[in-house]
Chains A and B, each alone.
Chain A
């Protein structure tokens, strides 16, 4: 047998040394369900959902953290694996309050998906009476501990992906909890949280959700539109979740350049200025008394043209100047400089590149 192959569900399969069973399997299109696994960070083996049968091993092995060895015989879908996985999911389901109908993550939840895939039809075990209370003091993120399955993905993302080091797995055993420094709200004085929302992005269940998204649209009701963040010059790729002409929430595009599934607080939460009542909705012309009056586009544009024409005729093209916008799209800046150069015959065009 070739040195770099192993047996996957009875088939000889190539792998790259160093790969985990999970990676090697995914490589050839064999799916193994996972919950806690977070690409790019150290495997924690917390959830055991990814268990597989490795010939010769005493127990089932977590495929996300077990490296493949040459000749290893792995089965991903036998009776033993399926039964154990079902049991694990049943235990997770009863570990908290997983009442999907009222959960923000309904339709976008790995636990819900797994329960369905495992054909679970009833809750086998009693669920706990008490859970840690929900934290929603902070303005942006709801932390519902009754739905937390302690998979640790948020902790991994915060510490190993965005490296903000704001949360850890605190306490022990049945008291376990994801906690900030000081175990208070994300926005408490001694919390290091910077509200990047990466923990929300990776939470597989409804334990971490965007506050502003509540009631704004279920996953199956929203259109997902890829776009580019309007704030800084990194150019992060976002998915706008849009329902009824309104952005319900913003998430990052997985695997896209440059941000690789990450956003910051402004990119993730700075979108609803669009719906402010203060938006300018109609052209305005200043009157003699200094007040602005609403005008039609024709009135406003005719006035602009007659004034600029008059000034250019009387004082020449050097008497006009324009400032373009470093926030708006390329095509807008192009048009504005074209207007100044080709129509007004002036190179007095600039923008605030310098702030």
Chain B
């Protein structure tokens, strides 16, 4: 996020797009609700009637996968009615002309058809957004989990820059991260193209720096494969040794059948985890790891805040901290790593060789942590990004074209399936499924459908139905709810039985390889 959670409660205008915050990030949502009680205005754009809509002055229920059209059209109105922040765009941004040319192709009348809403709704939304300064934009996976995910993100950024809302308190572009340490895993260089702190591997200076830091030669220059490509390559036999740390790929990746086929093909699969999972079944070696609260360390939250995680008690049996396991493997291959605790790893390596985190040391993390960038030990951390100037100089406005999801409904599969998380569980339930009480609150997967679609098929609320896509079929309980507009089916991936990923489409954003979890075509029907 460019901004901080503390802004949520103070914001005057909030635009939430593609985020069911009350279930996925409940505490963040409480601050949005507080802001509304204190007089802030809230606009929600979401295909579903999410609980936050109760607090919104406007709900735009656009179609799944039409975000770019909606956002471009909002910008059309802002530019044609001169409601954008001209001074800001002139002095701080580049690419306005190109952006303008593109968004002018999206008059509300045209976009309205793509989005399944009225042109007036787009006009009004644009005017409302422009009427309060600054406005804060938040999004989640509803924006990113599409084949056009990167374009969706760029559109959000375009909109906020056009309004002059980036680089100020209570403004910005704010993706709330789904997992506790996705931000951190990225920051730490668990990505194929960068060392930690986003230092690119294809830059020779960076490689030289890390060759010295790690006392090695010939660090690889070519960016590696992204996760979906790895899984494919494992299936094709190009990757022979596959090491999975903590992820339950067999349930979380789209098209479970295909993923399992790939995992089965690995010549040697290592799984390092705290529980046996559907994925560890395919392993040749399983390494037992210490869990959260069984060792010291840090997480980095969505607001770039590095927070301490502390030890409450030792790990069970022979389970070991993950960092120790990696260090032992390195040692057996002739590499002696000197750091011998999470604290030493952070202070002596991560801070030492990551300029944006150089000022973050364990000694400074006792209370509320620190938000990077934090370049030196006197730096208080950064509450919001891009103040006065963008990190890269000028804020780049990037024209983007709307593209439909890879698979759209047709006669055979007439409904759109969209997926996500529910309140009482987390991902594949390896943790929540084993925490007392949470299973009692939600025991099984459900398919949320509209009353219209249920009636048309004679489906009663609560009956078991079949949901089928080109990739598979699941049998789940129908949950008829007014959260869902006609034409949409919504499911989660918490349970193995009825997991939406038997159905989802393994197609990916070409740039970042995020899967299109949010849109594929399905049919539903009564059990025969």
Task: Say if the beta carbon of A46 comes within 8 Å of chain B.
Answer: no
* Chain B nearest Cβ from A260, distance in angstroms: 8
Task: Say if the beta carbon of B431 comes within 8 Å of chain A.
Answer: yes
Task: Say if the beta carbon of A281 comes within 8 Å of chain B.
Answer: yes
- Known contacts A247-B293, A330-B346, A341-B195; A352 and B244 CB within 8 A of each other: no
Give the segment of B127-135, B158-166, B269-277, B467-475 that binds chain A.
B269-277
- Known contacts A233-B25, A330-B298; A283 and B287 CB within 8 A of each other: yes
Docked-complex contact A280 and B274, CB < 8 angstroms = yes
Tell me whether chain A's interface is mostly helix, strand or loop, or mixed: mixed
- Using Cβ atoms and an 8 Å threshold, which residues of chain A touch B198? none
Docked-complex contact A337 and B188, CB < 8 angstroms = yes
- Using Cβ atoms and an 8 Å threshold, which residues of chain B touch A319? 238-241
B155-196 near A? 1/0 per residue, CB < 8 Å: 000000000000000000000111111111111111111011
- Known contacts A226-B308, A333-B185, A351-B185; A328 and B178 CB within 8 A of each other: no
- Using Cβ atoms and an 8 Å threshold, which residues of chain A touch B444? none
Which of B312-348 touch A at CB < 8 Å? Answer: 312-314, 316-323, 325-330, 332-333, 335, 337, 342, 345-346
B332-368 near A? 1/0 per residue, CB < 8 Å: 1101010000100110011000000000000000011
Docked-complex contact A279 and B316, CB < 8 angstroms = yes
- Known contacts A161-B30, A347-B193, A348-B230; A321 and B224 CB within 8 A of each other: yes
Residue from the list A139, A280, A333 in contact with B190, Cβ < 8 A: A333
A259 and B179 alpha carbons, distance in the complex (Å): 16
Give the segment of B60-68, B278-286, B395-403 that binds chain A.
B278-286
How many residue pairs at the A-B interface have CB separations less than 8 Å?
463
A352 and B285 alpha carbons, distance in the complex (Å): 21
- Known contacts A263-B27, A301-B328, A346-B220; A195 and B441 CB within 8 A of each other: yes
Docked-complex contact A273 and B434, CB < 8 angstroms = yes
Task: Say if the beta carbon of A315 comes within 8 Å of chain B.
Answer: yes
Docked-complex contact B219 and A345, CB < 8 angstroms = yes
Task: Say if the beta carbon of A9 comes within 8 Å of chain B.
Answer: no
A227 and B294 alpha carbons, distance in the complex (Å): 11
Residue from the list A195, A272, A295 in contact with B436, Cβ < 8 A: A272
Task: Say if the beta carbon of B268 comes within 8 Å of chain A.
Answer: yes
Which of A219-270 touch B at CB < 8 Å? Answer: 225-237, 240, 242, 245-247, 256-259, 262-267, 269-270
Residue from the list B5, B247, B312, B367 in contact with A227, Cβ < 8 A: B312
- Known contacts A163-B34, A235-B303, A323-B247; A259 and B330 CB within 8 A of each other: no
Docked-complex contact B6 and A227, CB < 8 angstroms = no
Residue from the list B179, B437, B438 in contact with A326, Cβ < 8 A: B179
Identity of the chain A residue whose Cβ is nearest the Cβ of B330 in the assembled complex: A343
* Chain A nearest Cβ from B33, distance in angstroms: 4
Task: Say if the beta carbon of B440 comes within 8 Å of chain A.
Answer: yes
A300-313 near B? 1/0 per residue, CB < 8 Å: 11111101110110
A329 and B184 alpha carbons, distance in the complex (Å): 8
Docked-complex contact B368 and A256, CB < 8 angstroms = yes
* Chain A nearest Cβ from B484, distance in angstroms: 19
Task: Say if the beta carbon of A140 comes within 8 Å of chain B.
Answer: yes
A337 and B432 alpha carbons, distance in the complex (Å): 28
Docked-complex contact B34 and A161, CB < 8 angstroms = yes
- Using Cβ atoms and an 8 Å threshold, which residues of chain A touch B387? none
Residue from the list A234, A302, A329 in contact with B176, Cβ < 8 A: A234
8 contacts between A and B (CB under 8 A): A187-B441, A233-B302, A247-B312, A258-B301, A273-B291, A328-B246, A330-B188, A347-B192
* Chain A residues close to B by CB (< 8 Å): 139-140, 160-163, 187, 194-196, 211-212, 225-237, 240, 242, 245-247, 256-259, 262-267, 269-274, 276, 278-286, 292, 295, 297, 300-305, 307-309, 311-312, 315, 317-343, 345-355
New contact pairs (8) apart from A212-B437, A235-B305, CB-CB < 8 Å: A139-B437, A212-B436, A265-B438, A285-B284, A309-B333, A311-B241, A341-B214, A347-B220
The 9 closest A-B pairs by CB, nearest first: A281-B317, A235-B301, A233-B177, A329-B297, A325-B246, A347-B224, A264-B26, A280-B288, A139-B437
